[in-house]
Amino acid sequence: MKKIIVLISGSGSNLQAIIDDCNAKRIDAEIACVISNNPNAFGLERAKLAGIKTIVINHKEFVSRELFDNELYILLKKHNPDLIVLAGFMRILTKKITENFYGKLINIHPSLLPKYPGLNTHEKAIKNNDKVHGVSIHYVSSELDGGPLIAQGEITTGKEDVDTLIERIHKLEHKIYPEIIKYICNGQIYLDSNKVIFEKIDLEGSYISKKYEI
């Protein structure tokens, strides 16, 4: 059984999806702890209700990003996880984290990368009248939202407001993120020399691409 640490900043809806799949034995792993930079993150309550250890590292208490990351680094090294999952963690990590845990650190981003890295992806998709929108799961590197791509899921879009689009994207995230975590914990997906390796998974192209009508 693999050991996971989940990093959050907000409501923790992706965290809940991961918790549910771990409890249902769909993911062969345990969540060792949940770490948040936000002491008021509702995801902390989700973790506590599930009996999972929580740790808060309030970024506002550190005078620099480097000092915050150093504290996070110490915690991650102490727990020695097999996988570190960013689930709505709204901090840009320094090389101390991205380089030392490269290949063990994954993130989900609400766009079809390389399109729309960074923030406000849903607003950009609506503004540009995109017919397709989605999410990307990738290994985290020192480049913002630019690490090796693992998987993407997409939905078709119409004339909808931002809140409706966000809700649909969240449903997509809750489907695809636990699935990819399952494959990683089973050893079916891993990173080798910056190349994502897939074993015994039916792929379309060089990465998993799934379309969901949500």
- What single DSSP character describes residue 156? E
- Token pair, residue 184, equals 């990683």
CA separation for the pair 24, 148 (Å, rounded):
29
Backbone angles phi, psi at 2, to 5 degrees: -80, 160
DSSP 57-112: --GGG-SSHHHHHHHHHHHHHHH--SEEEESS---PPPHHHHHHTTTTEEEEESS-
79 among known catalytic residues: no
In the set 59, 79, 109, 122, the catalytic residue is 109
Q: Is 103 exposed, middle or buried (0-12, 13-18, 19+ CB in 10 A)?
A: middle
Mark out the alpha helices in the chain (DSSP H runs). 13-23, 42-49, 65-79, 95-100, 121-127, 162-185
Mind telling me the catalytic residues?
109
